[in-house]
Amino acid sequence: MRLWLFILFTCTLQARNLDVIIVRGADGAEEYGKKFTSQVEAWAAACSKAGFAPEVFKGEKTTAELQDRLARAKPDRSLWLVLIGHGTFDGREAKFNAEGPDFDAKQLAGWLAPLKQEIAVIHCASSSGGFIRPLTGKGRIIITATKGPDEVFYARFGEHFAEAIGGLAEADLDQDKQVSLLEAFRHASKAAATFYENEGRLATEHALIEDNGDGVATRREVLEAPPAEAKLDGERASQLVLVLSEEEKKLTDEQRTKRDALEVELKKLKEQRTKLSDDDYYTKLEKLLRELGEVYSGS
């Protein structure tokens, strides 16, 4: 029985080509420890729904073990790194508070630098905004609970993100029966803002997302009312989902990757509409739509 479960688990994990690593930091105080534990449990439950288990790092050796794990990351597997805990800022470096030695943004950037696969970093701690510029790059999705390193108070963003990523209906803005990274970001950012509004308190956290590699992150409020012609973040994050809908499960990772790339090409084509003749535009449109059809017909 155990052998059968192991084989089933392994096959399911390989099918997604995705590793989820959760780093659970120091409590700081008992009340926060309970919140962090709840977030880890919510992520684990979401991964279970997705068909695999996350890797959770905690304890005195967290920093060293994380560095070692990232050094062993397989290039053919996408990686989601989730940081749950407290952060600090000493005026120079933003740090994540592990139970043992802390690690800062530059250290994490150095560990991730050799990795060429797509990486999503969901940093739910205070001062997390200080990690954006060091971690930004091609094929990177960076989500932080704060807009800068100087927002040092406990961030509630992570609580709401953890509840959304498993497929919370309230967070499914496009009603496609699944919650993308972008949707989870928007849900958590809005829920955190609502908390401060209801409490009549000045907000001490403002979440950001950066996924186009320009190093300039975007807040939810801007995404919801984008300036004309603005090139905002969120396009790639809108395509990444942890718990797939029944329709998405019919596609392989390779099919989803091709579909996502074709959707980007379609968007670019539509943006060029006014610069193209009708014949040129519709010829290119037909080609892309046929390729999309082939993706779904092969599922």
Per-residue b/e over 145-168, b at no fewer than 16 CB within 10 Å? Answer: bbbbbebbebbbbbbbbbbbbbbb
Joined tokens for residue 239: 């395509």
Residues 51, 10: Cα–Cα separation, whole Å:
10
Q: For residue 216, give both structure tokens.
A: 């300039």
In order along its 299 residues, the chain shows pLDDT tens digits of: 333 333 333 333 335 899 999 999 999 999 999 999 999 999 999 999 999 999 999 999 999 999 999 999 999 999 999 999 999 999 999 999 999 999 999 999 999 999 999 999 999 999 999 999 999 999 999 999 999 999 999 999 999 999 999 999 999 999 999 999 999 999 999 999 999 999 999 999 999 999 999 999 999 999 988 887 777 899 999 999 999 999 898 888 888 888 888 888 887 888 788 888 888 888 888 888 888 788 877 75
**CA pair distance 182, 134, nearest whole angstrom:** 21
User: Could you read off the pLDDT of 3-22 as tens digits, one per residue?
Assistant: 333 333 333 333 589 999 99
| CATH code for residues 2-243 | 3.40.50
CA distances from 230 to 141, 147, 221, 225, 269 (A): 18, 19, 14, 11, 17
Give the DSSP letter string of 69-88. HHHT--TTSEEEEEEES-EE
Q: Give yes or no for a contact between 151 and 88, defined as CB atoms under 8 angstroms apart.
A: no
**Structural domain boundaries of the chain?**
2-243, 253-297
